[in-house]
Amino acid sequence: MLLINGKSWNVLSNEDVLNAINEIEESFFFEFKEDGVKPSKLIEEISAFANTYGGYIFLGVADDKTIVDCKEWNEQRIFSVIHDSISPTPSFDVKKIQFDEDKVIYILRIDEGAEPPYITNKGMIYERISSSSCVVKDSNKLSQMFLKRKEEEKAIEKKITIT
């Protein structure tokens, strides 16, 4: 997984996050979302990251990199929306970052999924292409996702099989 400012997830400081926001652009691995983002749009992004190589969503940050604060979102709502809206549930983590006394953002780290495809509760499958999350419409792409899942299952089975 790509690191933010070369730092492990567990030791990220506010300064690391602020530097990252100022230095990065929305891309294959990074997405900025304002507090008012609809749950369905957030789920599309998470599905896309899980179906490709993982990534980070900075919730409470505008496209122009302005920290706008999170009032509508909190960790509990983020966890609930993800668990209720994507199947299987992807591997993810959430970090709350407090700026000053009145501004909070959340960073969502979505890991590359071991069990693709990750399907939204609307039956859609997304993938990350450049700085966008797009619906998978190509049957070959979908076949690749299933093949990846089967290969992962075989690798796990080899590790746990007792002879």
Average of per-residue pLDDT values in the chain: 89
Three-class DSSP category at 1 = coil
Is the pTM higher than 0.75? yes
Q: Which residues contact 44 (CB under 8 A, 6 or more apart)?
A: 120, 124, 126, 133
What's the pLDDT tens digit per position in 9-39?
A: 888 888 999 999 999 999 999 999 999 999 9
Q: Which residues contact 117 (CB under 8 A, 6 or more apart)?
A: 51, 125, 136, 142, 145, 146, 149
CA–CA dist 142, 70 (Å, integer): 35
User: CA quadruple 98, 50, 80, 93: dihedral positive or negative?
Assistant: negative
